[in-house]
Amino acid sequence: MASSAPFQFAGDSDSDEDNFNPAPADLSDDENNATTKRAAVMTDRRESNPAVDNDIIDEEEDEERPSKSASKPTPDDEEEDENGDEEAEDGEDGKNGDDEEDEEEEDEEEEEDDEDEDVHRHRRKRRKDHRAAFFDIEAEVEDEDEAEDEEKEGEEIEDFIDNAHPDDIAESGRLDDDRRHRELDRRRELEASMDAEKQAEILRARYGKRAPARGYGEMAVVPKRLLLPSVDDPGIWAVRCKEGKERDVVFSIMRRIEERAGSKDEVPITAAFERGGPNSVMKGYIYVEARRQNDIMIALDGVLDVYPRTKMILVELKDMPDLLRVTKTPNLEPGAWVRLKKPAKHAGDLAQVLDVTENGLEARVRFIPRLDYGVRDEMAAAAGKRKRPGMPGPRPPQRLFSEVEARKRNPRQLQGNPQTNTWTYAGDDFENGFQVKDIKIQQLDVKNVNPTLEEVTKFASGSEDGTENLDLKALAASLKDGSTNVTYVPGDVIEVYQGEQRGVVGKAVNVQGDIVTLRVTEGELAGQTIEVPNKGLRKRFKAGDHVKVIGGSRFRDEVGMVVKIVDDRITLLTDQTNTEITVFSKDLREASDIGGQGSLGQYSLLDLVQLDPTTVGCIVKVDRESMVVLDQNGDTRQVMPSQIANKLPKRKLAVAADRNGSEIRLDDVVREYGGQQRQGKIIHIHRSFIFLHSHATTENAGVYVTRAGNVTTIAAKGGRSTNPNAGPDLSTMNPALKRNPAANSNGMQPPKTFGRDRALGQTISVRKGGYKGLMGIVKDTTDTHARVELHGKNKIVTVPKADLIFKDKVSGKTIDIYSRSGRGGFGAPGGGGYGDRNGSRTPMAGNGGERTPAWGAPKSVARTPAWGRGETSGSRTPAWGDGSRTVNPYDGSRTAYGDGNRTAYGGATSYAGGSRTPAWSSSAKTPAHDGFGHGSKTPAYGAGSSGSSNDPWGSKTPAYGASAPTPGASGPSDSWGYTPGPGPSGGGSSSSHHPYDAPTPGGAGFGAPTPGALNAPTPGGAYSAPTPAALSAPTPGAWQGGWGSAADSAPTPAAVGAPTPGASGIGGGIGGGGGGGGASGYYGAPTPAAYGGVPETPAAGGEMRNADDD
Amino acid sequence: MFFLHNLERRVTLHPSYFGRNMHELVTTKLVKDVEGTCAGDYYIIAIMDTFDLSEGRILPGSGLAEFTVGYRAVVWRPFKGEVIDAIVNTVNPHGFFAQAGPLSLFVSSHLMPDEIRYDASATPAQFTNDADIVIEHGTHVRVKIIGLRTEVGEMWAIGSINGDFLGCLQP
């Protein structure tokens, strides 16, 4: 304070008065008080204060501080001071200005002291007593002296003219003169530097504000600068004390002060405080403020736990303010998490506060003990080493206290109550497995504890039955420090909900400290920019906003869309899980469109992770520190990243088979078979388990698990038909291939045979395998295998059907039972008779028949040559023509249906348009259609079933044969087999007759069967006549053309005319067949005949047949 | 809302398709690739026509030809505030999911009129006001979009039936 004196000497009465109130630096008083040699100064002082009157100011002062006037032993001082001030005011004598100021201040301080407690005054007195051992009266006067001393001090220090100690100076009489001179000089200086008005202004500026605060003591605003300690103030010493006892010591000092207050030996210090505390660097010290070090010795003499005799540290002036800086001490509450610092063994361990002692110095905490139950001691003992207390070596791991263990190792040290599960072991208390201990708060880390979920989990797992009943989410929430303040970021839409501007909505444009600058967007103020304190603000969202949770909510990092707003509570629907959560708007931020939590470390939502060697799971929810995993058994569990063995990379190539045996891959859409029939997209395939994801449910993020065998494919990804890795699917786009779409399809499967397996009872020989060459009789069959009773061994063996060669029972020739039976199961039944014929022929037919499918399979390329190829070709080849034809209706049928298929394809796929179509339609129309669909089969069947139907077939076959016959056609046949579609289409569309048709012919030929098929049905009608007519007539264009062309191209173009008729004839024939169908005999006749004829010259055969038919 | 939108896209063609009708193929492929997809914040419903088919450029390395095709497409872009009709997919206690063409949307129970409540006991579960309004699987509803979220290849909306003329469409 004294330092500010120079400006005050000219102060007016106001300043005086003002000065009383704020009493800034108490401490200077004490020093003054404490100083000796006051008496001498006193006189000076008196001289320097000529006017010793009581004036109004005094009265005022008295009024203001009655206690002071009452208790203060030296009212004169003040009066004098004030007078002095007045003088200064008047300009009569300004020399005292400084002094007065100082004095005033001192006085004020004194006053305060007085007011506060008399102790100080007594103390001062006592000190004086100490020094001078004078009586009271003199002491009263001393204050003046003090004041003067101060004055001098102030002067000296401020002016830096004379640094001699005031005590020294005070003694000399000349001091007075010096001082006066100096003051005069100074005053002149000042006056020179500024005129009175300015000074007044300054003073007013400085003190004017203080007037209203009068009476409130220190509450008035005083520039901090003025409050800083100066050298005049008492020093502060740091005194060692016992660590942790700081507060106790201070308390005992306080008690002592109280005890001794007013007594002779008052405690001669002005203050004592401590800066202990758990994290303070100043712990282990108390700080005592006193004039002299010796005072401290006196004051602290005999106080426990403090060691004034050790070296005291004088706190430097500049450090003093820091000593008093207020730091907020964290408040420990039961349940809080802390870390241990002290028991070295547990350093860094997490502990939970159970209780805090009243004085706030200790806390009862529980933590997980690190016990080895004496194992290490034993080991040490065994090794003959003394155990060192310094905790060398590894510390035991954290484990809950085990009574059993303790009892086993060290039963003597164990006592406790099993009921409450509280034990005392080796001096430590354990409750429910946790160690419980009172620990000084200093030895706890209360800040930045950051317990991890793992640690906390351990605490929870020990509860009661030991089962883990911890709601990790709740815990995670409790772990968060709720200290996050609302932070606004420019761009936030903010609503003012408190204060004058309530209701204003705007967008933050700037945030500085607590002040948010808003650009108002709505209402009357729209467009204006206002500043508001962030206290009454909240963020504003609209329904539908996409927001992210930030801040302290346990839903932190969730992203979602706002669906509901009530006050500042906002409900949002999370993106990840489609669940609704409610949070405070302050915890929200507008979110970018994408985002959201979806990953925790390396694990992210929907990842497949390995939980243990036998368990995998799919992450269905990710929290901040844990995640929820749906394991392969359909159970969800909450796990922490540490519990996950590893993450299984997505195997893009993983393949499984669904219920129907179809291959399923990732991203296929499948539906559960049975059960809930849930449908979903495959996100993981793990062994036989598949994890599906569906948007239809929100449970488990829409993920569920099932077995691969329990789903059926709804849609394979991208309509997969080929291996997706084989590069682009050329077949779909390549126009060349597109021409013949049928070429890509697998063709229709050969008709299934129904009824009794024809193989049953057949004599066979085994073609392959261990039983190769052995003969036997088929006793039983499945789709693929036959059980064969061997002739040679009395044994029934199972042999793949494919490995069987069927033999005629009688002749031992190889036969094709299927082909024969195809024709007419009858054929077969017809058995014997036909046998031969068939027999001979059959084989080929057989092949053909068997082949048919292959045949049907448009991979015709194969066909032509293939025909050439053993199997089919054999049959196909002209010779074959016969064979096949001969072969039977079956062939026919087969063909037919092969055709059918093919045709179907052709028809359907490629050429709706062609002339074909009509043909088709006709065919379709015709009952044949059925036959068609089922193809030849039906007819064949029909044939099979009823001898009569055979005929048509027979007839047809021939017809077929007719086309087939054209050996030349074989060439074409390729093409046709190959591109039946085109053939027909071509033919149909425009040029059925044209050479182009050449292939067509084949097609035609092919068609032939179809017609046959057609016919068959048609003929089914008894009218051979009408049918043909119908045929030729309706289908005419198509058919005839087709036929014609076929015929044409095939055997003899010239024959064209003929073919047509032929065709018609055929039709007729067919019709006839149909008609004749009634009579199996007929059939039998023609066919064979046809066959007979056919073999060599199919054409002829055809003709013949026709003839026959006709 | 539907728009006619001019767009551009690069189409690559496998060498095996090179030939006379390449442009046709390009168009075909474009249609195949683009129609029915979600392009950010709108759906491409149909391609009207293509124009400005650039010359093909062989991509080094792969041999594919790249064409830049300008095309005009009908696109549908849902807007906040737009009212659309949808068919209810799923009903759960929090609200219901509905499908408006390719767009799936959710109507929270908060965004329904107060009198409409979830009735879990009905089969299938439904939202009803115990009178004429029944919202269950398959119900046609008229919904106002209040929020939109776009993701790659997907859009997602939140709707409200809280308003005049919104809600259940009487058959």
Closest Cα in chain B to A581: B94
**Amino acid identity, residue A399?**
R
> Strand B154-160 vs strand B103-108: parallel, antiparallel, or unpaired?
parallel
Domain range holding A801? Answer: 763-807
Residue ending a domain, choose from A685, A704, A719: A719
Domain range holding B102? Answer: 83-168
Residue ending a domain, choose from B76, B97, B129: B76
Q: Are residues A198 and A248 in the same domain?
A: no
Handedness of CA A359, A360, A361, A365 (dihedral sign): positive
- Asked whether the predicted pLDDT for residue A1086 surpasses 60, the reply is no
Residue ending a domain, choose from A298, A323, A348: A323
Q: Are residues A243 and A206 in the same domain?
A: no
Q: Are residues B13 and B46 in the same domain?
A: yes
A563/B97 CB distance under 8 A = no
Binned at pLDDT 50, 70 and 90, residue A265 comes out as confident
Is there a domain that residue A604 lies in? yes
Q: Are residues B148 and B123 in the same domain?
A: yes
Is there a domain that residue A531 lies in? no
Is there a domain that residue A353 lies in? yes
Percentage, residues of chain A above pLDDT 90: 0
Closest Cα in chain A to B144: A544
Average pLDDT over residues B94-121: 89
Q: Are residues B27 and B67 in the same domain?
A: yes
Q: Does A734 touch chain B (CB under 8 A)?
A: yes
Token pair, residue A342, equals: 């002290």
Count chain A–chain B contacts defined by CB atoms under 8 A.
70
The DSSP code for A698 is -
Predicted local distance difference test score (pLDDT) of residue B88: 92
As for the ipTM of the complex, it is 0.81
Tens digit of each residue's pLDDT (9 = 90 or more) over A956-1005? 433 343 333 333 333 333 334 333 333 333 333 333 334 333 333 333 33
A544/B158 CB distance under 8 A = yes
Q: CATH number for the domain including B132?
A: 2.40.50.140
Q: Which of A850, A858, A872, A837 is nearest to A804 (CA)?
A: A850
Predicted local distance difference test score (pLDDT) of residue B47: 92
Distance from CA of A691 to the nearest CA of B (A): 21
Closest Cα in chain A to B159: A544
Q: What's the CA gap between A520 and A600, in Å, rounded?
A: 39
Tens digit of each residue's pLDDT (9 = 90 or more) over A205-262? 777 665 554 445 555 566 777 777 888 888 888 888 888 788 888 889 888 888 888 8
Is there a domain that residue A731 lies in? no
B138: left (phi over 0), alpha (psi -120 to 50) or beta: left
Distance from CA of A660 to the nearest CA of B (A): 28
Q: Are residues A982 and A1105 in the same domain?
A: yes
Binned at pLDDT 50, 70 and 90, residue A1067 comes out as very low
Percentage, residues of chain A above pLDDT 70: 46
Distance from CA of B144 to the nearest CA of A (A): 11
Q: Are residues B124 and B59 in the same domain?
A: no
Predicted local distance difference test score (pLDDT) of residue A382: 61
The interface residues of chain A toward chain B in range 1037-1056, judged by CB-CB distance below 8 A, are none
SS3 percent helix, strand, coil of chain A, rounded to 5, is 45, 20, 35
Contact A253, A272 (CB under 8 A): yes
The interface residues of chain B toward chain A in range 15-34, judged by CB-CB distance below 8 A, are 16-17, 19, 21, 25, 28-29
Q: Does A561 touch chain B (CB under 8 A)?
A: yes
Residue that has been written with the tokens 């712990």 in this structure: A283
Predicted local distance difference test score (pLDDT) of residue A734: 56
Q: How many helices (H) and strands (E) does chain A have?
A: 46, 42
Q: Are residues B100 and B160 in the same domain?
A: yes
Q: Are residues B98 and B51 in the same domain?
A: no
Q: Are residues B88 and B30 in the same domain?
A: no
Q: Which of A573, A730, A734 sits opposite B158 (nearest CB)?
A: A573
Q: Are residues B46 and B97 in the same domain?
A: no
- Per CB-CB distance under 8 Å, the chain B contacts of A679 are none
Q: Does B10 touch chain A (CB under 8 A)?
A: no
A573/B106 CB distance under 8 A = yes
Number of domains in chain A: 6
Q: Are residues A862 and A1001 in the same domain?
A: yes
Q: Are residues A239 and A175 in the same domain?
A: no
Q: Are residues B92 and B155 in the same domain?
A: yes
Residue ending a domain, choose from B46, B76, B106: B76
Residue ending a domain, choose from B23, B43, B76: B76
Q: Are residues B68 and B94 in the same domain?
A: no
B89/A696 CB distance under 8 A = yes
Mean pLDDT for chain B?
88
Q: Does A696 touch chain B (CB under 8 A)?
A: yes
Q: Does A679 touch chain B (CB under 8 A)?
A: no
Q: Does A575 touch chain B (CB under 8 A)?
A: yes
Predicted local distance difference test score (pLDDT) of residue A346: 85
Q: What's the CA gap between A1079 and A483, in Å, rounded?
A: 102
Q: Are residues A822 and A797 in the same domain?
A: no
Predicted local distance difference test score (pLDDT) of residue A563: 86
Q: Are residues B87 and B38 in the same domain?
A: no
Three-state SS letters, A501-570 = CCCCEEEEEEEECCEEEEEECCCCCCCCEEEEEHHHEEECCCCCCEEEECCCCCCCCCEEEEEEEECCEE
Closest Cα in chain B to A730: B16
Q: CATH number for the domain including B57?
A: 3.30.1490.120
Is there a domain that residue A249 lies in? yes
Closest Cα in chain A to B149: A593
B158/A697 CB distance under 8 A = no
Q: CATH number for the domain including A789?
A: 2.30.30.30
Q: Are residues A80 and A223 in the same domain?
A: yes
- Asked whether the predicted pLDDT for residue A824 surpasses 60, the reply is no
| Whole-prediction pTM | 0.38
Is there a domain that residue A507 lies in? no
Q: Which of A543, A578, A593 sits opposite B146 (nearest CB)?
A: A543
Tens digit of each residue's pLDDT (9 = 90 or more) over A668-684? 888 888 777 888 888 99
- Per CB-CB distance under 8 Å, the chain A contacts of B33 are none
Q: Are residues A793 and A914 in the same domain?
A: no
B151/A593 CB distance under 8 A = yes
Q: Are residues A785 and A828 in the same domain?
A: no
Q: Which of A559, A593, A595 is nearest to A578 (CA)?
A: A559
- Per CB-CB distance under 8 Å, the chain B contacts of A594 are 151
Phi, psi values for residue A583, rounded to 5° = -140, 170
Number of domains in chain B: 2
Q: Are residues A603 and A708 in the same domain?
A: yes
Q: Does A677 touch chain B (CB under 8 A)?
A: no
B149/A563 CB distance under 8 A = no
Q: Are residues A706 and A660 in the same domain?
A: yes
Residue ending a domain, choose from A470, A498, A514: A470
Predicted local distance difference test score (pLDDT) of residue A369: 87
Of A605-614, A818-827, A909-918, A1061-1070, the range with the highest mean pLDDT is A605-614
Tens digit of each residue's pLDDT (9 = 90 or more) over A293-326? 888 888 888 888 888 888 888 888 888 887 777 7
Q: Are residues A407 and A345 in the same domain?
A: yes
Binned at pLDDT 50, 70 and 90, residue B73 comes out as very high
